[in-house]
Chains A and B, each alone.
Chain A
Amino acid sequence: MKARIFVTLKGGVLDPQGRAIHHALEGLGFDGVNDVRAGKLIELDLADGTSDEDIDAMCRKLLANTVIENYRIEKVA
């Protein structure tokens, strides 16, 4: 079983990386980009039967810092 964990900065948290990417896109001539936010994708290869609670605990205890980040779990068949 595989799971994808998407970790993103919370709404109010400044994202200098996203801002730099935004500027670079504008520099390449791409107009109309309103905002860029950069995050992380973490792919987990898990033993079959790993519980949703365990995956959630992995996110809370290590993969995301919930002071500044949100996470979303996507299970892949």
Chain B
Amino acid sequence: MKSAVIVFPGSNCDRDLAVAFEAATGAKPTMVWHRDTQLPDDIDLIGVPGGFSYGDYLRSGAMAARSPVMQAVAQAADRGVYVLGICNGFQVLTESGLLPGALLRNAGGHFVCRDVALTVENAQSAFTSRYAAGEAISYPVAHHDGNYFADDATLDRLEGEGRVALRYAESVNGSARNIAGILNDKGNVLGMMPHPERVIEAAHGATDGKRLFDGLVEGLLARA
């Protein structure tokens, strides 16, 4: 079980995500710098972490999405490698075209940093298999640009195909249809604004995020 975490200049959740990957897989992930053009061979899981890559210049995630390593991530995703993008990682995945839509400035104009109530909409995905459909959970959010936007046809398609993985159960940032996390059409790429890696051990004060990593790794090992 090999995992990697991408590191951009300005990433700040890369080490937290590495801790979560290591806790779930039992092995340290490879940290891959944004200028690298190759990922480790036989990679199973790639994390695109939160932070402020390239200082959010131009648009959040825009510069990171065009960095050399994202070409390799896109090719890996196309081969079926699992990719988890959290917060700025979600923004990078939409800017890369790996996920549809875009993340706009929060509707209220403010940076939102707190625990939020979420509903697991799709518990069939590789990322959510240890949750129950409709389960109420809580993850922290910390973002300024988390207001998910897509045209109505795209939103209808996402809903119809079960690709809304997580939905906010309260008003957070103005996201279309309260979308907090979406899957790609093959189900191997998940982008989400909330931070499961910040709630994986008792010392964090909550452990709702642990099942995401454990379930994902369990599923990947069963598949191998």
Chain A interface residues (CB < 8 Å from chain B): 13-17, 19-20, 61-63, 65, 67-68
Contact = CB atoms under 8 A, between A and B. Distances in A.
Contacts of A15: 105
Given A13-B149, A14-B174, 18 more contacts: A13-B104, A14-B104, A15-B105, A16-B105, A16-B109, A17-B105, A17-B109, A19-B109, A20-B109, A61-B66, A62-B58, A62-B62, A63-B58, A67-B94, A67-B101, A67-B149, A68-B102, A68-B104
A66 to B, nearest CB: 10
Contacts of A63: 58
A14 B95 CA distance: 18
Nearest to B174: A14
A65 to B, nearest CB: 6
B174 A62 contact: no
A22 B10 CA distance: 32
B104 to A, nearest CB: 6
B71 to A, nearest CB: 13
B107 A14 contact: yes
Contacts of A61: 66
Contacts of B105: 14-17
Contact of B62 (A13, A20, A65): A65
**B interface SS class:** loop
> Size band of the B side of the interface?
10 to 19
A65 B102 contact: yes
19 contacts: A13-B104, A14-B104, A14-B107, A14-B147, A14-B174, A15-B105, A16-B106, A17-B109, A19-B109, A20-B109, A62-B58, A62-B62, A63-B58, A65-B102, A67-B94, A67-B100, A67-B101, A67-B150, A68-B149
A68 B59 CA distance: 11
Nearest to B66: A62
B108 interface: yes
A16 B149 contact: no
B144 to A, nearest CB: 10
A65 B108 contact: no
A58 to B, nearest CB: 11
